[in-house]
């Protein structure tokens, strides 16, 4: 598959003073951050989207520039669920720890290494694969400088506890050594039987763990952030009696799973939360919050928004003017997506599955409009789509002299609108989305006059998967020998 680069600036201005500051809008779960030289580098979860683990660089922690991806091909040992990348820097090397589903097994923690943060990364393979699953890795040196791996045993996936473990790790990051030791587990009511996403910072006499408790994802999430401290990395650990220290408010819900970082003598936490405006449709977005260490040996968040003004992405235009896809395009890890760009035309090979082959971009607003031109020489059904996953998608596609609106829900395909086009021609397809869920499709054969495809507004509330967000993009459906031709993609965020 081709390597993707993202030249767009993807920061939005902050919200009200009672909220934390948004710095990575769109679907960026489990954000991790590290300082390397004079820059900050961040990465986020992609789950079942590919390419994996987008990279961003910043000088101020507020304005982030896309800088490629960690993996543009799936690691040999894994097949899906690429979660929780933790980007770190140690002794001149960049290490990225991540979780993935092992072929024929369960979730494992693995590591990759690079000489520079933009890569290329060499995968070092799995470090720990427990029967219930192992996720959310964080490396930390103890008070004597010995390197450890901290992680969560994914017991909640099989109805068991979720202990946080520590084990010594080889300096080359190829194996854990010695016995694992439990640091703490869920024992507070607000944690709802689940703790995860631990990151640790050391200050004076204490190691401080920032961790998440509760359910991370989806419309029923109840995530929050707690803190614990210990004078030795291996404990004993005590939790702050005032936990959770971050919880939902008027603007954001389910905040948690991030990384602390220092800038100019001040301390910040980059983490995710759902916007109460875009909810699960916009995904878990990257927030920044400053914290300080208190006289009684704890830390507290200031909940400020004065870290600098972000730049708002109002419009994304892709004229397919380079040989590689630009913009924040992703596809399913379960699809063998084949494409190429020739003469400012994206050629996307079809797939016969219910969803077809698709490419999607993260939604950045509650209300937005997307458009694309389908070329008349397309041999596949070619169209514009709102995407959940391989079994849940809504798309308007042209084929010959017909344009159809097709709903795929739980793998079942239903045509919900159909119109005839008098003669085969290039077709401009437009989708107007309001309040996250209400979608109206129109189309034009001359680029000026638009006709309504669906007189009844379509509902996409069924689309978001449990752990991801809606994407908007392109679809090509048919035999693998058929191809869809696209020009001039436009996404306007309102």
The catalytic residue positions are 30, 196
**360: Cα separation from own chain's centroid:** 12
Q: Quick one: tokens of 293?
A: 């260490």
Measure the CA–CA gap between 267 and 29, rounded to whole angstroms: 21
292 class by beta-carbon count within 10 Å (0-12 exposed, 13-18 middle, 19+ buried): exposed
Residues 6+ apart with CB under 8 A from 184: 163, 164, 195, 209, 228, 235, 237, 239
Q: Is it true that the peptide bond before 83 is cis, omega within 30 degrees of 0? A: no
State the distance between the two ends of the chain, measured CA to CA, in whole angstroms. Answer: 33
Residues 6+ apart with CB under 8 A from 214: 190, 191, 192, 194, 221, 222, 223, 224, 254, 256
Residues 6+ apart with CB under 8 A from 448: none
Measure the CA–CA gap between 52 and 373, rounded to whole angstroms: 28
Q: Quick one: tokens of 75?
A: 């690691």
323 class by beta-carbon count within 10 Å (0-12 exposed, 13-18 middle, 19+ buried): exposed
The helix (H) or strand (E) run that includes residue 280 is helix 279-282
- The full DSSP string for 128-181 is E--TT-EEEEEEEE-TT--EEEEEEE-GGGGTS---EEEEEE-TTSS-EEEEEE
Residues 6+ apart with CB under 8 A from 473: 329, 358, 359, 360, 361, 384, 385, 387
Task: Give the per-residue SS3 of 188-233.
Answer: CHHHCCCEEEEEEEEECCEEEEEEEECCCCCCCCCCEEEEEEECCC
Q: Quick one: tokens of 256?
A: 């948690």
* Strands, sheet with 164-169, edge to edge from the N-terminal-most edge strand: 134-141, 147-153, 164-169, 176-184
Residues 6+ apart with CB under 8 A from 296: none
Q: Quick one: tokens of 24?
A: 């990575």
Contact 149, 139 (CB under 8 A): yes
């Amino acid at each position: 598959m081709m390597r993707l680069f993202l030249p767009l600036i993807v920061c939005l201005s902050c919200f009200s003073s009672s909220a934390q500051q948004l710095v990575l809008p769109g679907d960026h779960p489990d954000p991790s951050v590290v300082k390397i030289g004079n820059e900050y580098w961040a990465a986020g979860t992609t789950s079942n989207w590919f390419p994996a683990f987008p990279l961003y660089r910043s000088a101020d922690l507020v304005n982030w520039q896309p800088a490629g991806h960690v993996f543009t091909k799936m690691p040999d040992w894994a097949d899906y669920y690429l979660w929780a990348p933790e980007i770190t820097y140690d002794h001149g090397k960049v290490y990225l720890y991540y979780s993935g589903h092992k072929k024929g097994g369960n979730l494992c923690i693995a590591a990759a290494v690079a000489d520079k943060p933009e890569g290329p990364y060499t995968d070092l393979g799995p470090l720990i694969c427990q029967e219930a699953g192992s996720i959310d890795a964080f490396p930390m040196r103890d008070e004597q400088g010995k390197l450890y791996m901290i992680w969560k045993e994914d017991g909640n996936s099989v109805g068991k506890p979720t202990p946080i473990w520590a084990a010594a790790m080889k300096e080359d990051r190829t194996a854990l050594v010695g016995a694992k030791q439990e640091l703490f587990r869920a024992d507070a009511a607000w944690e709802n039987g689940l703790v995860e996403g631990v990151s640790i910072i050391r200050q004076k006499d204490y190691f401080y763990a920032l961790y998440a408790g509760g359910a991370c994802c989806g419309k029923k999430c109840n995530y929050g952030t707690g803190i614990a401290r210990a004078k030795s990395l291996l404990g004993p650990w005590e939790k702050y009696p005032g936990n959770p220290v971050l919880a939902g408010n008027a603007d954001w819900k389910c905040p948690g799973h991030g990384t602390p970082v220092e800038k100019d003598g001040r301390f910040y936490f980059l983490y995710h939360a759902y916007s109460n405006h875009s909810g699960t449709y916009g995904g878990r977005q990257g927030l920044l919050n400053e914290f300080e260490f208190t006289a009684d040996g704890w830390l507290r968040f200031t909940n400020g928004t004065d870290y600098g003004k972000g730049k708002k992405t109002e419009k994304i235009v892709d004229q397919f003017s380079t040989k590689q896809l630009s913009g924040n395009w992703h596809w399913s890890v379960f699809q063998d997506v084949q494409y190429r760009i020739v003469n400012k035309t994206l050629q996307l090979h079809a797939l016969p599955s219910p969803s077809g082959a698709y490419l999607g971009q993260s939604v950045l607003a509650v209300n937005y409009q997307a458009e694309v031109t389908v070329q008349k020489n397309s041999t596949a059904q070619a169209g514009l789509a709102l995407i959940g996953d391989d079994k849940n998608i809504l798309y308007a596609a042209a084929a010959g002299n017909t344009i159809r609106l097709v709903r795929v829900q739980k793998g079942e395909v239903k045509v919900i609108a159909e119109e005839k086009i008098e003669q085969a021609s290039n077709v401009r397809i437009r989708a107007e989305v309001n309040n996250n869920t209400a979608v109206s499709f129109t189309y034009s054969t001359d680029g000026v006059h638009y006709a309504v495809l669906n007189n009844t507004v379509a509902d996409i509330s069924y689309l978001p998967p449990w752990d991801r967000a809606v994407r908007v993009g392109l679809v090509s459906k048919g035999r693998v020998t058929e191809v869809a031709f696209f020009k001039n993609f436009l996404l306007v965020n309102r």
